Chain A
Amino acid sequence: MPESLPALILLGLALLFGAATIGATFVLGPKRPTPEKLAPYECGIEEIEAPRQRFPVKYLVTGMLFIIFDVEAASVLPLAILMRRLQGLGFIELLVFALILAVPFIYIWRKGAFSWE
């Protein structure tokens, strides 16, 4: 715990700074709102419809694939720092893990999940 306390102190101070700045935005500066000013920015034209329709599912798929490979990357890091100690065993472990994950990677690639229109 003590070794991580300084990072938490920095976090606390950064939170203070962020809160103070956001608070300052209410105090400083003029306040002269008009309905046009507060309307969504649309390059000067009238807004046709509110953003209500759903977005392409592609974003969700990208997010899910990210999680999968992020878990892979996060488990590779502790293996990486032990590579010198584990020697051959470490290399084989990494190789097998990479090969296992290469299978869905190639499948996803062939399914076109990485190509955006």
Chain B
Amino acid sequence: MSDLAWFLVGALVKSIIAIVALLTAFAYMTLIERRVIARFQRRVGPNRAGPFGVFQPVADALKMAFKEEILPTRASRLVFLIAPAISVVVALTAFAVVPLGGPTAWGNSSIARAWAPYVADLNVGVLYIFAIASLAVYGIVLAGWSSGNHYSLLGALRSAAQMVSYEVSITLAIAGVLMFAGTLNMVGIVQAQAHQGIWFILAQPLGFLLYGIAAVAEVNRAPFDLPEAEQELVAGYLTEFSGLRWSLFQMAEYINMITASSVVVTLFFGGWTLGSLDGVFGLPFIWYFIKVAVFLFIFIWLRATLPRIRYDQLMRFGWQVLLPLSVLNALVTAAVVAYGLPWWVSGAIGLAILLIVAGAFYATARRSQPKAKRGAGQVMAAPTSVRLVADAPLPRSVDESQTTSVSASAGVK
């Protein structure tokens, strides 16, 4: 067979593998997320189906497939049906350029290169991911619009405005990395890090943080999961969806999470490269998967820890904090790269900006706090429910004031 034929066969097989792997990863991410969140909340989580609950995703998938699919009378039929498909197609397609390993992972012959561990090696690399991901908003908006329900449409509009507001910052936040790498190509960015001997997070701490925050908002995860703010909007754009159509949206959310984590690892944490251990078979893959897993865990950690942000705060934060900071980061990095200064200059300036901003946030948070809570000597009134989750058993007797102070201190612990 000719090289081109091998290339196409390789692409086809790798695409199938990528889709199957992403779907499996999605299924097990749901289980891992439920188990981990349960740990955070001192519960056990699903552990009945098989050892450690490993068959739980299978059970969930079967249950979802055999649920009744509701097609509301008010719904706009065609759009209602294609909206979930758009979401998942976009999520799967965006993964094409993510490199799990180097172009020569299986050797140096042209046939081995056709099997390089990524689907496509595009010159526009990371821009391709952003372009495809910018289509994701259509799945959500069309789902909300076609449902014919107040909650759905309002939820969809909110998430559209949110995704759109953070998309600019996400693009500008990586400009710094691109200046250091000198290419948009994902493989090229990893190789540039290996070549320059640093992970770009060292030169771009601010860019990394901005990208991280904006990425969480882009994939609509906590604390930016406003479209699903159930107290206000039932389930946002998901309200009228059920069964497999509903799970397609979940699928898209988790796959987007995996892609976002992969992009972080590729752009800021050196991708698969291990230095002198690169040649050991399989080791770069494991190294890469460990790094991605860490960021997936951080996604879950954020969800377990942070309360949801109010909508006006979210929009203000995106436009008034993230956007100016990402432009500033791009300008600082541009100066460093254009005038040939060493990488640690932009790293140090980035950290300094980060400290100043954090200080400003802390100061405003203190100022806006009610007076009563600030005094050191005052007893903090804790709700009685604090006692239910405290570790140490509380002293039985004692009068009212003592109980309050003890439970408060236990709660703080």
Contact = CB atoms under 8 A, between A and B. Distances in A.
A90 B333 CA distance: 12
Contacts of B311: 116
Contacts of A90: 334, 338
Nearest to A94: B334
A9 to B, nearest CB: 5
A4 B320 CA distance: 37
Contacts of B84: 18, 21-22
Contacts of B398: none
Interface residues of A, number: 69
A76 B88 contact: no
Contacts of B95: 10
B334 A14 contact: no
A13 B324 CA distance: 40
A10 B120 contact: yes
Nearest to B176: A80
Contacts of A55: 153-154, 157
Interface in A62-110: 62-63, 65-66, 69-70, 72-74, 76-77, 80-88, 90-91, 94-95, 98, 105, 109
Contacts of A37: 70
B355 interface: no
Contacts of B81: 22
Given A40-B147, A51-B153, A115-B312, A6 B171 contact: no
Contact of A81 (B67, B157, B182, B316): B182
Given A10-B18, A33-B70, A80 B330 contact: yes
Contacts of B179: 80-81, 83-84
B298 interface: no
**Main DSSP-derived SS at the A contact region:** helix
Contacts of A32: 68
A10 B148 contact: no
Interface stretch (B6-14, B36-44, B356-364): B6-14
A12 B365 CA distance: 50
Given A9-B12, A80-B179, A41 B149 contact: yes
A55 B320 CA distance: 24
User: Closest 3 interchain pairs by CB?
Assistant: A18-B85, A6-B11, A73-B171
21 contacts: A3-B120, A6-B15, A11-B93, A11-B96, A13-B16, A14-B88, A29-B67, A33-B70, A38-B73, A40-B149, A42-B150, A65-B319, A66-B164, A76-B175, A80-B179, A82-B182, A91-B338, A98-B330, A109-B319, A114-B316, A114-B320
Given A42-B150, A76-B175, 20 more contacts: A5-B11, A5-B120, A10-B15, A10-B120, A13-B92, A14-B19, A17-B92, A21-B248, A22-B248, A25-B245, A28-B66, A40-B240, A41-B149, A41-B239, A50-B74, A65-B319, A83-B179, A88-B338, A114-B315, A115-B312
Interface of A: 2-7, 9-11, 13-15, 17-19, 21-22, 24-26, 28-33, 35, 37-43, 50-51, 55, 59, 62-63, 65-66, 69-70, 72-74, 76-77, 80-88, 90-91, 94-95, 98, 105, 109, 114-117
